[in-house]
Amino acid sequence: MTDTHTHIYMPDSFPDGGVAAVERAISAGVCRMVFPCVDLSSIPDMRTLHSRFPDNTRLAIGLHPTELTPDWREILRQMHDMLPGDFAAIGEVGIDLYHDDSLRAEQCLAFAEQLLWASEFHLPVIIHCRNGLDDTLRIIAEHPNPLPPLIFHSFTGSKEDVERIRTVCDPWFGINGVVTFKNAPALREALPVIGLDHILLETDAPWLAPVPVRGTLNESSRIPHICQCIAETLALPMEQVEEITDRAAAHLFSFSK
Ligand SMILES: [Zn+2]
């Protein structure tokens, strides 16, 4: 299984830099992990963990929409200078107006610029979208064709949202522990509309631990709970969900087959 979105490299949550968490994930059958970047400070921590497990892990680079500081243009310049380097994806980037919409215009500019990097370096984009679907879809629609491969990470929307997104692009959808929550029937109803070949597994660790460990510190070893819930919802064998989602993740993030 592949955890396509995990921040287990963050020392605040994993004081050993995530080494034990990666080992627990591999023991649980989660042998591949993608580390999304939040800001410049993520990069040394991600690289340290990646260097311990180079075949099991991939790195993304990008400025998270809630992490824009007054010098965001300079930060983007520094990140662009690091490309392509050791990065397999751009992310996580996008729009987040949930707690604060005061930098909406800047978030839009930063997202549009980082989408262009993906086309320039032929990399997929991990999109973080929270209370920002209108802007996200407008910016994607304004991007010159062809679009890079897109991943709507932490997708928690409805089948109507899937259909609306597909009027603009044809992304993969990162499904995490929210799918196991009692109060997420609309997300489960969206899974057959998304289709197994457009689903990616993710934890978004250290957040969003799935049932039956909801509320604990999340880590990549919890992916089997998410895989099992998707399999039950789609009435498919868990092995098939594992195989199809692994294949998509390997293709997108350049894991060896
Ligand atoms: Zn994230």
pLDDT at residue 223, rounded to an integer: 98
H or E segment and range at residue 162: helix 159-165
The Cα 43–Cα 126 span in angstroms is 16
pLDDT tens digit sequence for 57-68: 999 999 999 999
236 C-alpha to ligand 1 centroid (Å): 28
241 C-alpha to ligand 1 centroid (Å): 22
pLDDT tens digit sequence for 163-181: 999 999 999 999 999 999 9
92 C-alpha to ligand 1 centroid (Å): 6
The Cα 136–Cα 112 span in angstroms is 9
The Cα 108–Cα 111 span in angstroms is 5
DSSP secondary-structure letter at 148? P
203 C-alpha to ligand 1 centroid (Å): 9
pTM over 0.95: yes
Is the predicted pLDDT of residue 257 greater than 60, yes or no? no
94 C-alpha to ligand 1 centroid (Å): 11
In single-letter form, the type of residue at position 33 comes to: M
In single-letter form, the type of residue at position 13 comes to: S
239 C-alpha to ligand 1 centroid (Å): 26
7 C-alpha to ligand 1 centroid (Å): 7
In single-letter form, the type of residue at position 184 comes to: A
Output the average pLDDT for the chain.
97
pLDDT at residue 256, rounded to an integer: 84
Position 93 confidence tier, pLDDT thresholds 50, 70, 90: very high
pLDDT at residue 137, rounded to an integer: 98
β-pair partners for 127: 93, 152
The Cα 147–Cα 124 span in angstroms is 9
∠ Cα 90 91 92 (to 5°): 170
In single-letter form, the type of residue at position 153 comes to: H
The Cα 131–Cα 9 span in angstroms is 27
91 C-alpha to ligand 1 centroid (Å): 9
Check if the beta carbon of residue 255 is closer than 8 Å to that of residue 54. no
pLDDT at residue 90, rounded to an integer: 98
85 C-alpha to ligand 1 centroid (Å): 21
39 C-alpha to ligand 1 centroid (Å): 11
The Cα 49–Cα 14 span in angstroms is 11
The residue behind tokens 């990549």 is: 220
Check if the beta carbon of residue 111 is closer than 8 Å to that of residue 136. yes
Check if the beta carbon of residue 61 is closer than 8 Å to that of residue 34. no
210 C-alpha to ligand 1 centroid (Å): 15
Give percent of the chain with pLDDT exceeding 70.
Answer: 100
205 C-alpha to ligand 1 centroid (Å): 8
- Residue 44's contacts (CB-CB under 8 Å, 6 or more residues apart) are none
pLDDT tens digit sequence for 7-38: 999 999 999 999 999 999 999 999 999 999 99
164 C-alpha to ligand 1 centroid (Å): 23
pLDDT tens digit sequence for 111-140: 999 999 999 999 999 999 999 999 999 999
The Cα 236–Cα 228 span in angstroms is 9
Helices and strands (H, E) in the chain, number of each type:
9, 8
pLDDT tens digit sequence for 41-58: 999 999 999 999 999 999
